[in-house]
């Protein structure tokens, strides 16, 4: 029977036992000269033979060690599935289509991501999603039950499905995986390297939403930043490490711009059902043939269309449960086209759950948007939605101005989707169809995997440029420079600071917060 791991469980490793074969030396009884001559001859023969054997054995050992070192050395030199610069790159034709369960990868950008010539970064805010995790508690229970039922009821396993017979469900619930920790370390390194001119002398102000995996993600990010700074010989000493982190409670009723929960109509009213409805329509279309194939290869399991999604979920979750992010065998059960349909399924959930497909989706991101305005303009926060006024009025918990020009906030995929929407970053995306899959080209760059994968990051940059009378703002989401058409972005994706702030009228006016409590 398979059981999900709890927070206190860990993977248990049993050391490989080694045995030694000890050679026993034989002794001969010598009683007469003839026997002595024979014994000398035998000893001479054995010594010569032993020399040959030793040479042969030493040669064999040499060959073995050469092969071992060659294999071990090459395995260490093999490129990891995840890297600082490009993120996750193993089997990108499928792994970049796992929706919000894709590990972060560098997305294509039509606008160069480098800082424009004759410009200098003066401010850099990162808004990041936590690293890869185990399934949520409710999902891990469902996945474990499905695996157990397959083991109990499947009468046979089709070609390519045999691994499921011996598969043991060991995924936990809600925990940041080791792979996810490394993602966040890599993210901290990348941020430091991108903003090195500022980062070598200035420590970022760090906030995190209060859930354990988010706080741990922030801690790992600071470790990456710190490691990069220590290696930079031109940087200041990093005596401030470990950096302080302001963790904002996610308890019910808490004001928290990094975690939604206050808007009643959005949380439990009709609006809370819109995403499920959109996804259900698409599931009924794209999973039909997949479900039939699963049941043909797992006769007796009686997998439903909903459970087909669960089977697909097991691919990314088992992949990120691996320390190195090696692709799970579950992934090969589905075609590239089916993964594209799955990615679209997840995009529907985000768009109709937390973006403009939901009447109150964008409103959930208003609070953070107004905090960003305050940081960019060095003015007090002006907001009456989800901000915590006690924290935002204190320079210890919400510093603005002076040398505080680097910020790092850590949140969730749903909240980042709402924030992007409140800022109008994907206003060029038409309402997603729930009967036909659309590519990122057709959605103008919007998908769950392109916007909020595990360890997603958005950079909000302010820069001064030679010859310009005003500073510019630019936004980079997972290495893709957004065109910022809502504020008249130029060919480098830049808007003037004043134009950018003016374009955020939806947030500055409180969004539709008044509709939260009808």
pLDDT of residue 80: 74
Instruction: Give yes or no for a contact between 315 and 334, defined as CB atoms under 8 angstroms apart.
Output: yes
Task: Share the mean pLDDT of the chain.
Answer: 88
Q: For residue range 373-425, list pLDDT tens digits in order.
A: 999 999 999 999 999 999 999 999 999 999 999 999 999 999 999 999 999 99
Q: What is the pTM of this model?
A: 0.85
Would residue 251 show up in a list of annotated catalytic residues for this protein? no
Q: Model confidence at 239, in pLDDT bands (50, 70, 90)?
A: confident
Q: Which candidate in 82, 96, 130, 415 is catalytic?
A: 130
Q: Which candidate in 259, 392, 413, 415 is catalytic?
A: 413
- Residue with the bigger pLDDT between 268 and 6: it is 268
Instruction: Indicate if the pLDDT at residue 321 is higher than 50.
Output: yes
Instruction: Indicate if the pLDDT at residue 14 is higher than 50.
Output: no
Instruction: Indicate if the pLDDT at residue 435 is higher than 60.
Output: yes
Mean pLDDT calculated for residue range 312-320: 98
pLDDT of residue 61: 35
pLDDT of residue 218: 98
Rounded CA separation 225/202 (Å)? 11
Percent of the chain exceeding pLDDT 70 equals 85
Judged on CB neighbours under 10 Å (0-12, 13-18, 19+), 15 is exposed
Q: For residue range 121-143, list pLDDT tens digits in order.
A: 999 999 999 999 999 999 999 99
Q: For residue range 344-364, list pLDDT tens digits in order.
A: 999 999 999 999 999 999 999
pLDDT of residue 30: 29
Rounded CA separation 13/430 (Å)? 50
pLDDT of residue 28: 32
Instruction: Indicate if the pLDDT at residue 264 is higher than 70.
Output: yes
Q: Model confidence at 238, in pLDDT bands (50, 70, 90)?
A: confident
Rounded CA separation 336/332 (Å)? 9
Min mean pLDDT across 5-14, 317-326, 465-474, 475-484 is at 5-14
pLDDT of residue 236: 79
Would residue 130 show up in a list of annotated catalytic residues for this protein? yes
pLDDT of residue 18: 31
Instruction: Indicate if the pLDDT at residue 68 is higher than 50.
Output: no
Instruction: Give yes or no for a contact between 161 and 116, defined as CB atoms under 8 angstroms apart.
Output: no
Structural element, H or E, at residue 495:
strand 495-496
Mean pLDDT calculated for residue range 158-180: 97
Instruction: Indicate if the pLDDT at residue 281 is higher than 90.
Output: yes
pLDDT of residue 518: 85
pLDDT of residue 398: 98
Backbone angles phi, psi at 472, to 5 degrees: -110, 160
Mean pLDDT calculated for residue range 24-31: 32
Judged on CB neighbours under 10 Å (0-12, 13-18, 19+), 397 is middle
In the three-class reduction of DSSP (H, G, I as helix; E, B as strand; rest coil), residue 304 is classed as coil
Domains and CATH numbers, the chain: 115-135+176-263+342-515 (3.40.50.1240)
């Amino acid at each position: 029977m398979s059981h999900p791991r709890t927070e206190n469980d860990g993977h248990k490793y049993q050391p490989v036992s080694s045995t030694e074969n000890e050679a026993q030396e034989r002794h001969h009884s010598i009683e007469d000269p003839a026997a002595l001559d024979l014994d000398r001859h035998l000893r001479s023969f054995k010594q010569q033979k032993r020399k040959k054997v030793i040479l042969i054995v030493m040669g064999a050992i040499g060959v073995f060690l050469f092969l071992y070192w060659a294999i071990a050395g090459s395995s260490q030199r093999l490129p990891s599935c995840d890297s600082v610069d490009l993120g996750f790159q193993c089997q990108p034709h499928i792994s970049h289509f796992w929706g919000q369960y894709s590990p972060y990868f560098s997305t294509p950008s039509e606008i160069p991501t480098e800082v424009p010539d004759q410009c200098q970064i003066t401010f850099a805010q990162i808004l990041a999603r936590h690293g890869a995790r185990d399934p949520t508690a409710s999902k891990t229970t469902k996945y474990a039950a499905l695996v157990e039922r397959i083991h109990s009821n499947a009468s046979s396993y089709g070609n390519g499905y045999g691994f499921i017979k011996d598969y043991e469900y060991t995924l936990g619930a809600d925990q940041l995986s080791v792979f996810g920790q490394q993602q966040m370390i890599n993210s901290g390194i990348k941020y430091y390297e991108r903003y090195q001119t500022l980062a070598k002398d200035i420590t970022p102000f760090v906030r995190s939403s209060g859930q354990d995996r988010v706080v741990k993600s922030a801690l790992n990010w600071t470790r990456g930043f710190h490691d990069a700074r220590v290696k930079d010989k031109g940087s200041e000493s990093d005596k401030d490490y470990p950096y302080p982190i302001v963790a904002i409670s996610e308890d019910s009723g808490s004001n928290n711009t990094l975690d939604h929960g206050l808007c009643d109509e959005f949380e439990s009213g009709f609006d809370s059902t819109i995403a499920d409805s959109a996804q259900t329509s698409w599931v009924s279309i794209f999973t039909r043939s997949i479900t039939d194939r699963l049941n043909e290869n797992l006769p007796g399991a009686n997998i439903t269309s909903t459970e087909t999604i669960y089977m697909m979920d097991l691919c990314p979750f088992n992949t990120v449960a691996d320390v190195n992010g090696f692709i799970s065998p579950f992934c090969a059960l589905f075609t590239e086209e089916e993964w594209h349909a799955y990615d679209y399924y997840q995009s529907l959930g985000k768009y109709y759950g937390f973006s403009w497909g939901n009447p109150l989706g964008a409103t959930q991101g208003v609070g953070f948007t107004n905090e960003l305005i305050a940081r960019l303009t060095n003015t007090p926060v002006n907001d009456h939605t989800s901000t915590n006024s006690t924290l935002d009025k204190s320079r210890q918990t919400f510093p603005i101005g002076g040398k505080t020009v680097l910020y790092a906030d850590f949140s969730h995929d749903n909240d980042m989707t709402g924030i992007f929407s409140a800022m109008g970053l994907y206003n060029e995306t038409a309402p997603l169809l729930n009967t036909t899959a659309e590519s990122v080209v057709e959605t103008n760059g919007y998908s769950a995997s392109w916007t909020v994968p595990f360890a997603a990051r958005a950079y909000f940059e302010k820069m001064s440029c030679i010859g310009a009378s005003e500073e510019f703002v630019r936004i980079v989401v997972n290495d893709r420079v957004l065109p910022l058409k809502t504020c008249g972005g130029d060919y480098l994706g830049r808007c003037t600071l004043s134009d950018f702030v003016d374009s955020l009228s939806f947030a500055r006016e409180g969004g539709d917060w008044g509709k939260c409590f009808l």
